Amino acid sequence: MLKLLAYIKPYVIPIAAVVMLVFFQSMADLSLPNFMSDIVNHGITNGDVDYIIRTGGLMLIVAFGGTLCAVLAGYLSSHSAMGLGEILRSKLFTHISGFSLAEFDKFGTPSLITRNTNDITQIQMVVMIMLRMMINAPIMCIGGIIMALSKDKGLSWVIVVVIPILALIISVVAIKGFPLFQSIQKKIDKINLVLREGLTGIRVIRAFNREADEKRQFDKANLDLTQTSIQVNRLIAILMPIMMLIMNLTTIAIIWFGSIRINLGTTNIGNMMAFLQYAMQILFSLLMASMMFIMIPRAQASAERINEVFALTSTIKDPDTAKRTPPDKKGFVEFKNVTYSYYGAEEPALKNITFKACPGEVTAIIGSTGSGKTTLVNLIPRFYDVDSGQVLVDGIDVRELPQEALRAKIGYVPQKAILFSGSITENIRYGKEDATDEEVKHAAEIAQASEFISGMKEGFDSVISQGGTNVSGGQKQRLSIARALVRKPEIYLFDDSFSALDFKTDAQLRAALRKETLNATVIIIGQRVASIMDSDRIIVLDEGEIEGIGTHRELYQSCKVYREIVASQLSEEEIA
């Protein structure tokens, strides 16, 4: 947690002000019992009115000053804690944004969301209270002990007995609470995972009537979190009554033995009352410390989880001395003996992949599910780094190119069409921020999206809801394709991006793409043989290995795997 507190540097002045204000507040609180003791010990006679007014007025001023300091300290500590939360969220989001897909796979999206929201909120709360209590409590405790001893050393044994008992209770609670707080954060991750799966997959769940199963799964995760939270709350629930019991017993002991000492003439009522007030201040400061020791373990668990993210650096980084692609080469893609394995996988997803894709050509990739088609395409924009071999763009290894420069050359359409909340124009302009209205409309026309856009009430200004839930799957795919087209890249990557289109729209789109991408390299992952038959080059993948490269006719004659795929989709007349 101390590592994360380093980010609070911009708030050094407010924090210093909090320290000073809390110090003055503590001094004011410590001085009030002393004033009261002086008034009681002085005795009240007719001639003492001026003394009482003078001392009482001073007490009011001190009390008002202490209250003002407390209010200002509360405001500044809240401001600093919220500022720390803002900085942490920004830093964490920026750090996560730099992760490769391999790092995302290690943590999982629900866990990263929890760490950037709930975990940072826990730290915010503790810092806000810490700035007050962690300064106030020691001052009140130490100052209270000094002032109590100055009033009556004979009663100090009560404090000597009570403080170790309280310290022991607080330590036991902290030791038992820390693993429970760690467990709570992990279980919040789990419930977020179940909730996210249930909400994103609601159509499938309803289609198969599995609502009851999903509810049982959520209830199980929810109950698990609830039971752990109850264990923590039991600790807190036990702590508070014990603390109050000890405080009340301490009060009784001070009054009991203080009365005996007054009767013996070794002390007076004013000193006993002041001693009692200081003892209460000492115990309240320990009570505040106990609350901190309850909250700090949870914040510590959250801090460790955030530090885990910060500690994991992306395996994909820009080289120290980056290269630039030669101006005479644009869009050349080459794989040289590429092998890649996913984290924790037993077998490589790709093995010894070698091929070339050149500008002005369409390279299609086909294969069974799980053959490594998407993995292959993801290596080109360097979403993953190869285990061995090289992926070259314009003759340079992608690992030697700046990521921004590399991806500026690529127009990527993912397997699952992703749209963002905003207008249709904003979604298409996501591919090129400074695209003109004409460029946006042209890209939509090539992507065969103009027709359905013009049918919408506000046309290109129509709002797309989050995740594109107010448009169909085919419309989402066409808008995703338009987003890639608008940037006019050197390399187009289409990862099964036409699967939701009907045959007529598919044919029209491919014909328009041919004209639009004459000078670009086009790599298409396809599932339908009919849609890739006219490609300049077809790569057949099977279990991560290339089974054949060639045209449709060449592969039909020479590649058994391709022949099986063709036979499963086309009739003999279509094959011929």
CB–CB of 328/396 below 8 Å? no
* pLDDT tens, residue by residue, 509-523: 888 888 888 889 999
CB–CB of 71/132 below 8 Å? no
* Residue 492, φ and ψ in degrees, nearest 5: -105, 130
Share of the chain above pLDDT 70, in %: 94
269: how many CB neighbours lie within 10 A of its CB? 13
Model pLDDT, residue 355: 92
* Domains and their CATH numbers in the chain: 2-311 (1.20.1560.10), 330-409+525-576 (3.40.50.300)
pTM: predicted TM-score of the whole model, two decimal places: 0.68
Whether 414 has a pLDDT exceeding 60, the answer reads: yes
Whether 338 has a pLDDT exceeding 90, the answer reads: yes
Reported as a pLDDT band with limits 50, 70 and 90, residue 573 is: low
* Residue 402, φ and ψ in degrees, nearest 5: -60, 140
- Max mean pLDDT among 70-74, 426-430, 572-576 falls in 426-430
Reported as a pLDDT band with limits 50, 70 and 90, residue 10 is: confident
Model pLDDT, residue 365: 92
Q: How many DSSP H helices and E strands does the chain contain?
A: 21, 12
Mean pLDDT of 431-439: 89
Residue with structure tokens 């003791």?
37
* pLDDT tens, residue by residue, 39-56: 666 555 555 667 667 777
Task: Output 413 or 234, whichever has higher pLDDT.
Answer: 413
Q: Retrieve residue 283's tokens.
A: 């115990």
